[in-house]
Every structure is written in C-alpha cells, then in structure tokens.
Amino acid sequence: MSLTSFHKESLFFIGKGVCMRRAILTGATMLFTAASLLSACGNTGSKSQESTVKESATEKKESENTTESATEAEKAEKKTDNSLLPKELKDFPEASEEEVKTYMSDNDENTLLIDSRGEEYYSGWAEEGKTKGGHLSNALLFSSRWLDCYYTEETPRKMYLDRAMKDQGIDKDKSVIVYDRGGEEAKNVANYLALEGVKNIKIFHADKLLKDSDTITYQGYDHFLPVEIVKSVSDVKTGKAEKLSAAAEAVLGSDPSKIVLIDVAWGNMKESTYLSEGHVPGAIHINTDCYERPRVYVPEKRSDYAKEWRLLSIEEFRDSLCPQYGINKDSIVILTGDTAEAHGRLGFMLRTIGVKTYAMTGKLTAWRYAGYPLDKGEDSIVLPSAVDSFGSTDIPNPHEIIWTDEVKKILAGEEEGQIVDNRAEKQWNGEDSGYFYHDLAGRIENTIWCLENDVENGQYFMNADATPRTKEELVNYMKKNGVDPEKPAIFFCGDSWGAAKIAYWCQAVGLDQVKEWGNGWIPWSNLGNEFIDHKGRKVHYDKYLDAVLDENGKDVSDGVNILASKKKA
C-alpha cells in the first residue's frame, strides 16, 4: 500500500492516498503502522499532491493504495529527471492514407496502428478546434503525454510504458504506423518506440482521416472533461473571460453560473494541497470528510479502532451538503484536484441524485501538461456560495452506488453479479487489516480478488498520466483475474475509495457494469458479518465480547484476525 516518507525531525508519516485518505500519524501510532501500510488496497499511487501534515491535526485515515513523494523540491526533481521523451528526435517516413486505411481494416497481428494523442481524445472528445473525437478503427493507444508528463509515483514511469507495449502487442517485429492530428505526438512516440527496438515505423497526420472516418468512441467517455474546457470555465470564474468558449458552451451550456468548479481532496483548505501545491483557479474546495464523516458507528469497539469513514446517506448528502456548496438539481459540477479516488467517490454521489457531473481528465496531470497555472496561497481562496435547497427530493439514479443489502443478495446467489475485492494480497489473505484504524483482517467468502495496484506494477486501471487504460486492456486484466466485465462487477476495498476510482475509470471506457460498493470491508467486518480469516476459518466479530468467534461461537482471536489494543505511550 502506501509508501512512506519520514520527516527527519518529527517522524511524521506523510500519506498519499490512492484508494484512501491521508493518515496523520505521530509517535507510537506511526511506528505501529509504518510497515503494514505498505500494502492496503493494492498500492502505489496517485494522490501525489496530498502532502502537508501537521502534528496538531486530528489522527486521520491511512490509505489503501498509494505512492509517496516528499518535498516540493524532490517532486520537481522527479518531474525533470524521469521524463522518457527521447532527447534527440529523428524524422520518420510518412505513411500514406491508403496504408493507414489498410491497417484500419486488416486483421494482421503484425501491423499496428497507434494513436499518440491524449486518452480523452482517443476515447471520444474532440480536440480543441475540432468537431469529432474518438480514434481510428483498429487503433491502439500510446500517448505522447505519458513520456514526459508530471509524474511523482514511486513506480518507475517506464513500467507503465512497458506494460502498455506488452499488453497491446507492440514489439520490435511489428510494422507500426503512429498517428496524431498534425502535431509532434506521433514523432515523439515513434522515437520512443524506436529506442525500444521497434524497427519498422511510419508516422501519419490523421486530421482529415479522423474528420472523414467513422471513429470509435467509448460510451461513457464524458465521465471526464478535457482540460481546455475546464480552463474556459476557470477563466470565466476568475474574471479572465466574459463568456465560455464555443467548445465549453457546446458541452456545458451558456450559463456559467450553473457550473460549480470543485477541488476535492481529504483535509480542509489548509490541510489539503489546495493552498500549498495549488488548485484550478476559481475552484472551491470540498474536504472528503464532509460527505464521508469520521464517526463511531460501533460504539462497543475499542476506541483505537472505533472510528470509520462512511458515506452520508444519499438524503443527507442531497438535502444538507449539496446546498451548502451551491449545488442544486440544475447544477453542473466539475471535479478537479489530484485525488482520483475522491473524484470517483463524490462523482457517484452526485450522479446518484441526478447532478450532471464531470471529473477533469488526468487529475491535475493533463492540466499541468497543457501549461495551465495553479493558484496557491490564501489570496486564491474561493468560498462556496450556498443555495437555499437542492430543489428536489428525487433520487433518480439509485444504482450508481451499490449498497450492502444488494451485495448480500449477490453473495447469496439471489442476484446476478460478482463482488470484487481490490485490496492488497495480505489483506485478501487475512494476514493484515491494512489500516491503522481497523483491527479485523480477512476476506469475504465468494468474492473475487482483483488487485488495484502495487508498488512494482503501479496502477492496474490507469495510465502514467492518471487517465483510464483502454477498454481492451481493462477487460483483459479483469478477465485474467476471474472477473467477467460483461456482468455486474461490484468492487470494494477498505471503505471503497479505490473501488470508486476503479468503477469511475472503467465506466469512462464503456464498462458500465463495473460499480463500487459504497461501504466495503471495514463496515462489513465491524458489523459482525461473516468472513474468512488467515487460517481459512469462517468467523465473525462480536462487538460485545470484542472478539473474533468461529461458527461454533468459540473465541478464536489470535492477534492476526483481530489486533491487540495499541500500547499507550
């Protein structure tokens, strides 16, 4: 799970969440958890921007998947040092339109057509100034942006590039045509592939062919919004422009007052990266604790392990939280910030109550890549403008998030579906709870294990720039792990932060059967539901005895399936 970085003077653990929140750990708590947190919901990760931790802050959740970066200087050094864009770019022969059309229609595994643009355009969005999005038939994706975008994960950037080549069959013996609209992307990617040993490479500028062809688009591509459209909204919100661009108006309408631009991450403005590392100008900030309240739901538990982060009820979220942040039934919400899990989590809550919602593509990576500025410091604070009410009591999309009652029916075979655990292997095996604030370890019977991420391989559902992998890659990865993406696949982890990201990213490439379980392992085990412990026993937690019992009611607590109380300093 998360990699750790220790402050030299105060020994703080600085958490970067991928399917989690930041943990603020001090003293004995940090020492207790530092090793075990290296594996919780899979882990390496994004959330690379959530870094400022103060000892005086309330003890906070650790994440289930993550990758660390420490200081701003270290991040800047990583950004410049880990670029894999070749330093010398040579020219390549240009393919003819007829050659490209042949590649578009043939079934020859030795000829490959590769789209080098951003994933958002490959998936369906039209590039700025263009009228049609999507990719050419038979085209794979290898984005030029992956080579030199802002990147601070612990997993080497090259791992993502190697995986994209391997999983899409791009190797040295193939004949390859790399295309873009008319810029430098194709040349960049062609040079990189040549360094990797691919010998037969041509490039093609496909502006006319993309315009004239029946391009392939993903259903759901508009879960994300290209950064140039968000930039237009930002400019209006900050007074740099009087009206939205034509492209932005075509998607969002002509009334920018309906648009709520949100930076979402764990922590308030001062605890999160909103002020320290920056936010999209004009964005208000929402702390994930606002809709995932840290509360004691099982008061009989020991105080060390009693607190959980569960989603508000949909009704409370709609009637109380949304109006506070200026969101009503007619709002259009754009989610920004560097926490992918929060985009998925809040995105599904908003979609449940019928709010038109987008997440900005690539977290903040594509925004930075485009050269757009981030606002920092207290002068950049934007406060929300509350509205009187949400304006509706409807819940038009109740199945955006799957809840425990339905999960139980699927597990019992009463409804079709698969319940998929994306936690790390130690958690799946019941060897580790994975969370310093949770004491129960095990897995749920009749679930499938499909890892979200790990340090060696990075994020299995994302590219290096935090965009979704292609539909074909995600389908193949899930099938390899026993998940049928043609049937309902309900993902979960500790409290389902990472699961929300997986579901949102999968739905963006047309895999709409992939959903998140709104609760997850922590509430399930705390509430006394049956699970399998590390010895393969069917057990459950008894809150009154504060013990793990087997099917016969025998106390089988052993320090692994339930942790001992923490020693007080």
pLDDT per residue over 522-532, tens digit each? 999 999 999 99
Per-residue confidence (pLDDT) for residue 540, from 0 to 100 = 98
Residues β-bridged to residue 359: 224, 335
| CA 145/CA 121 separation, integer angstroms | 12
Q: Which DSSP category does 154 fall into? A: S
Q: Confidence class of residue 569 from pLDDT cuts 50, 70 and 90?
A: low
Question: Per-residue pLDDT tens for 498-512?
Answer: 999 999 999 999 999
Q: Over the stretch 530-541, which tens digit does the pLDDT of each residue have?
A: 999 999 999 999
Other Cβ atoms within 10 Å of 29 Cβ, number: 19
Q: Tell me which DSSP letter residue 366 carries.
A: H
Of 143, 140, 219, 247, the closest CA to residue 467 belongs to: 143
pLDDT at 566: 78
pLDDT of residue 17: 36
Over residues 439-462, mean pLDDT: 97
Asked whether the beta carbons of 100 and 204 are under 8 A apart, the reply is yes
- Contacts (Cβ under 8 Å, ≥6 apart) of 98: none
pLDDT number for residue 158: 97
**177-190 confidence digits (pLDDT tens):** 999 999 999 999 99
pLDDT (0 to 100) of residue 40: 52
In this structure, are residues 65 and 453 in contact, taking their beta carbons and an 8 Å threshold? yes
> For residue 10, is pLDDT > 60?
no
Q: Report which of 222, 341, 352 is spatially closest to residue 288, judged by C-alpha positions.
A: 341
At residue 63, does pLDDT exceed 50? no
Q: What is the mean pLDDT of residues 532-551?
A: 98
Mean confidence (pLDDT) of the chain:
88
What does the H/E/C string look like for 259-314?
Answer: EEEEEEECCCCCCCCCCCCCECCCCEEEEHHHCEEEEECCCCCCHHHCEEEEECCH
